[in-house]
Amino acid sequence: MTTTLFKWTSDNVKNKQILLSKLPDGKLTADCFSVREVPVEAPSEGQILIKTLLLSQDAANRAWMQGATYRGALNHGDVMASYGIGEVLESSHASWNPGDLVMADIGWQEYALVDVREATPAPEHDGPLSHGLSLLGVAGLTAYHGLINVAGIHAGETLLISAAAGSVGSIVGQIGRMKGARVIGVAGGDEKCRWVETELGFDACLNYKSSAQSLRDQLQSAAPAGVDVYFDNTGGDILQAALFSMNLRGRVACCGAVSMYDGKPKPGPFGVPGLLVTKRLKMEGFIVSDYAHLDSDARHELSLWARQGDLKIIEDILDGLDNAPAGLIGLLAGENRGKRMIRVA
């Protein structure tokens, strides 16, 4: 049995889609994308038809163009992939009803057919829908699990975070402060760094683009006693500087490598594995779904912190599907502050 909100036919509604029409060779550019309109189709058995409300924009979207990761590679001609939140319009499955809010890999399109096995309910909460992608979505959960369950931060430790103004980094630092760590961010640009310090309350934020002082020297001044935990969103030169400043038995939570996504990846940092042996470091890669069994506890705590005013939720919402390409290109260049998303409807 199919339940429906409206009767869809290819005549009355079109689905605008943005395709990855060619794979980038080097930096991602707008001409990698193209727009088309196709008829909206009714769901087959085991599918739901959803209307896209919000799309998440993540550095990982660019990594998917490089090859298979924790998901299959994107190919040219595919609808550009993206997680997001949608509303069920029509369901062919008893577990979903029209009007339900759903999270899924929707892609850059106004309507999507999604396999019910790949859809999860949007988190229930009393805040705005966008919190489902920021505080309670991939950003908040990645920050929480990475810092608490992967790195195991302790009070009194020094915590370093790259992409500190980004969706994940901005939350990691605030949680780190609550847990009693000394928190040092890394971001691109002096103005952004001051914002991380004043708005997010980091103890310090270092500008890796500074022409005045190398990041390694800045780190030496900001963390003279060394770094205990490095939350790595970037890889590359920042990871390199971090490894040199790590203390004995330091931990590196490898969350992403945005410096390596948008262009040709470079060789990894110098001194791996020698530094790991000498300092007995642990580097561990993770993705948020590894800790899905702990999501409800994490969401409970994240919500509480936000309600108490201890955790600021920074969102950077662009309106309109047409802005998705420029939004992602800008995110890869570091122009966002907090969680960037596209409001589609």
By the criterion CB under 8 A, which residues form the site for its own copies? 63, 69-70, 232, 235, 239, 252, 254-257, 260, 265-287, 290
- Does residue 261 contact residue 66 with C-beta atoms inside 8 Å? yes
- Asked whether the CA dihedral 273, 278, 280, 282 is positive or negative, the reply is negative
Lookup: tokens for 145: 């699990």
Nearer to its own copies, 119 or 260 (CB): 260
Least distance from C-beta 167 to its own copies, angstroms?
16
Least distance from C-beta 43 to its own copies, angstroms?
32
Scored b (16 or more CB within 10 A) or e, 298-329 reads: bbebbbebbeeeebebbbbbbeebebbbebbb
Q: Check residue 149 and report its DSSP letter.
A: I
Nearer to its own copies, 119 or 239 (CB): 239
CB atoms within 10 A of CB 69: 11
Q: Which amino acid, one-letter code, is at 36?
A: R
Nearer to its own copies, 271 or 320 (CB): 271
Lookup: tokens for 85: 């939140």
Q: What stretch of H or E contains 342?
A: strand 339-343
Least distance from C-beta 227 to its own copies, angstroms?
15
Q: How far is CA 316 from the centre of its chain?
A: 13
Least distance from C-beta 177 to its own copies, angstroms?
25
Nearer to its own copies, 94 or 277 (CB): 277
Distance between terminal CA atoms of the chain?
27
201 conformational bin, left if phi > 0, alpha if psi -120 to 50, beta if neither: left
Least distance from C-beta 2 to its own copies, angstroms?
37
Least distance from C-beta 59 to its own copies, angstroms?
11
Least distance from C-beta 106 to its own copies, angstroms?
22
Nearer to its own copies, 243 or 317 (CB): 243
Least distance from C-beta 228 to its own copies, angstroms?
15
Nearer to its own copies, 266 or 307 (CB): 266
- Does residue 113 contact residue 43 with C-beta atoms inside 8 Å? yes
CA angle 99, 324, 298 (to 5 degrees): 60
Nearer to its own copies, 159 or 275 (CB): 275
Nearer to its own copies, 100 or 237 (CB): 237
Q: How far is CA 98 from the centre of its chain?
A: 28
Instruction: State the Cα–Cα distance between residues 90 and 240, nearest whole angstrom.
Output: 50
Instruction: State the Cα–Cα distance between residues 98 and 89, nearest whole angstrom.
Output: 5
